[in-house]
Amino acid sequence: MPLINPLTVFVRLLKPVQIPGLLLSIGIFLFVLVAVNALFAYSPVLEVTAILSDPYYRHITTFSFYQAALSTLLSVLFAIPISHALFRREFRGKALLLKLFATTLVLPVLVAVFGLLAIYGNSGVLAGIFEYFDSILPFSIFGLNGILLAHVFFNLPFACRLFLQALNAIPDKQHQLATHLGMKHWNKFRFVEWPQIVAQLPHAAGLIFMLCFSSFATVMALGGGPKSTTIELAIYQAIKFDFDLQTGALLALWQICICSVLAVFIQKLSRSSSLTANYQGPKNTFYHDSWLAKCWDFSWIIVISLLVIPPLLMVVIAGLNTQFFVVLTDIKFWLAFKNSLLIAFFAALIAVSCAFFILLASRQWRLIGLNGYADKIEMLATIILVTPGLVISTGLFLLLRDIGHFSSLALYIVIAVNALMALPFVLKSLSLPMLHNAQKYELLCASIGVFWWHRFYWVEWKALRRPILQALCLSFVLSVGDLSAIALFGSHNFSTLPLYLFQLLGSYQMQSAAVIALVLLVLSVGVFIVVEYLFKERRTQHD
């Protein structure tokens, strides 16, 4: 056999439909690389010694790890009894509660922060109760307390959903077998339920740790000082307030290094799992019930309800105040509103289009068993996960500042960075449906000759409309609530709703802030409802 050049094999296996996705993936990777490089021009080498010898850097590094570890521990630990209780019990409003769980992860951070402040803040509901009894709130929400509270608020429901999904995957026969063998609560948990949870545990914990480690808006809003600062926030402060690009670059490089190591670590641990939106498992048959077990389960359900529901409720209640019409007639509000919609709409469109083409390329490889190629092309496009959005926006700004006017560029940069940040989530949610579609229909399409536009419309769009629209909504909501890309570019002339909310919170205009928080909440939840309504399945009659 003649020696075959691997490159020739690669080119021969490449189908035309894969080329756009391949180019996009490489393009995105280079785009990020160039942006990061622009910033690194200010810090040619990573001086680990400089970081390790400086007490402040050492402090924020330790703090980043410390708060992320604690947040992860709390979220995952409490998720075990809560998901178990939710799994065993049926009650009125369970479906709604699970829907609320799904919203906490995509909810604009500042809306959640506002809701938490309204309950646990210095002038919140809890403080009011303490005051009634002539005492004062024994803790302050600013600092580590608040960061942990917010992170648990976001991630505990997420972890619960992951575990619940794992528990729902237990076959009915196993429950019957357990009953038949006389396994009661503790033994059934140990031998049947725990193995399911523990299989999800590393993946869930890894993901949550990563999210908390690079948390930005939460720490910015609730950190309350240099004592509670993460690396991500320190980058922002260095660039925005001190315009110290060298420090910014150094910290960014440090952050990228740590995140890369973490990402590789998580990749090793994790099994891929896809999360369906409103998954309802088979009806659980539960034979050995007891009064004590009921109490135990419902206490946990009450705990999680008390964590999730009041802050969201407070956003609604506080938002409907006397300032409502004052804010809604303010031109500043409408400008921010317009910018938010523009950014979110285009970022979502770009993210979903890119993901679609990249997955067209990767699924072709998966079809013929070349999973290595497929993983790599998808990984190139998700490089943003280890690169702080802030670093990319700064890099882009440095690159482009000679070309155009600052404020005219800002909009495009924010759109691009938001699209990039949404891309990993979109890829994750579309990859399985698109692969299944190809597995089912690839040969059929080839044999009857359905290609290109026809293939897209009749096969992909018609079959995958739901997941595609959900991905659009998801990236829209992520972008509409994002603060990290806009934080750097925001000014009096250029603002978005989250930034406007942040400014109002900063100047203690709580009533106006409440209105904005409500608008953002309605926008985030509303877009899912509206899109679902607009694209309801309609059967067409043929002639």
Partner 1 sequence: MIKFTDVNYHYKQQSFHFDLEVEAGSVVAILGPSGAGKSTLLNLLAGFITPVQGEIKINNGSILKQAPHQRPLSILFQDNNLFTHLSAYENIALGLHPGLKLNAEQKLRLHTVSEQVGVENLLDRLPAQLSGGQQQRIALARCFVQDKPILLLDEPFSALDPVLRVAMLKSVKSLAKLQNVTVLMVTHHIHDALSVASDFVFIDRGTALAVEKITYLNTTHNNKQLVDFLSAEMNR
Which spans of this chain sit near partner 1 (rule: CB under 8 A)? 440-441, 443-444, 446-451, 453-455, 457-459, 462-463, 539-543
CB of 13 to partner 1, least distance (A): 12
Specify the 3-state DSSP secondary structure of 336. Answer: helix
CB of 323 to partner 1, least distance (A): 48
CB of 442 to partner 1, least distance (A): 9
CB of 427 to partner 1, least distance (A): 22
Sign of CA dihedral 399, 403, 408, 411: negative
Instruction: Using alpha carbons, select from 411, 404, 387 the residue that is nearest to residue 488.
Output: 411
Q: Which of 171, 449 has the CB closer to partner 1?
A: 449
Confirm if 221 and 502 have CB atoms less than 8 A apart.
yes
For 61, 78, 147, 258, the CA distances from 65, given in Å and listed in that order, are: 6, 20, 13, 10
Q: Which of 119, 459 has the CB closer to partner 1?
A: 459
CB of 432 to partner 1, least distance (A): 16
CB of 274 to partner 1, least distance (A): 19
Q: Which of 342, 432 has the CB closer to partner 1?
A: 432
CB of 463 to partner 1, least distance (A): 4
Tokens read off for 223: 């950190």
Q: Which of 192, 463 has the CB closer to partner 1?
A: 463
Q: Which of 33, 446 has the CB closer to partner 1?
A: 446
3-state helix, strand, coil in the chain (%, to 5): 80, 0, 20
Cβ-based burial of 522 (10 A; exposed 0-12, middle 13-18, buried ≥19) = middle
CA distance 140 to 209: 24
Q: Is 452 left (phi over 0), alpha (psi -120 to 50) or beta?
A: left
Tokens read off for 90: 């049926």
Amino acid at 311: P
CB of 277 to partner 1, least distance (A): 19
Instruction: Using alpha carbons, select from 493, 503, 497, 500 the residue that is nearest to residue 481.
Output: 497
Q: Which of 335, 450 has the CB closer to partner 1?
A: 450
CB of 458 to partner 1, least distance (A): 7
CA distance 63 to 57: 10
Tokens read off for 164: 């619940």
Q: Which of 10, 458 has the CB closer to partner 1?
A: 458
Instruction: Using alpha carbons, select from 111, 119, 217, 150 the residue that is nearest to residue 518.
Output: 111
User: What sections of 140-270 are H helices per DSSP?
Assistant: 144-168, 172-180, 185-188, 194-213, 217-222, 231-240, 245-269
